[in-house]
Amino acid sequence: QILVGAYGLTTGAGIAEALLRAHHRGVEVKLIADKTTPCGRNSGIDPLANAGVPVWIDNRARIAHTKTMVIDGAVTLSGSYNWTRGAAANSEDLNLVASPVVAEAYAGHWRDRQGRSMRFDRREDWCRAAAR
């Protein structure tokens, strides 16, 4: 299982593509993103949603600034590193913590945000509604 919290997620950075490959291998991938993420250029949300990855949009937070992944309830990635191509050129950090206790804390936060978020199905529907 991979639980993803994303402020930005674009194609071409390798992250969205790796999540798609994991999904196609049968890994349960779930994503919560900021309300602006689906409408940006090269958004990685569409390919994931089109492949059947469940996606939610955290539309309640002013900015859903989280950048985390909880992998198999054992490993947590977290930091300032956005899941975007541009992040690779910036001086951003990404921390890997191998601890089931830390992973459960982050997964609990992820589930809390999921309960406050809206399900995303199609970019056209979301971006049109978000523009109003």
| 46 catalytic per annotation | no
Pairing of the two strands 29-34 and 55-58: parallel
Which residue among 23, 46, 65, 121 is the active-site one? 65
The catalytic residue among 23, 30, 35, 67 is 67
Catalytic residue check, 65: yes
Catalytic residue among 24, 72, 93, 125: 72
Give CA 35 to chain center in angstroms.
11
Show which residues are catalytic.
Answer: 65, 67, 72
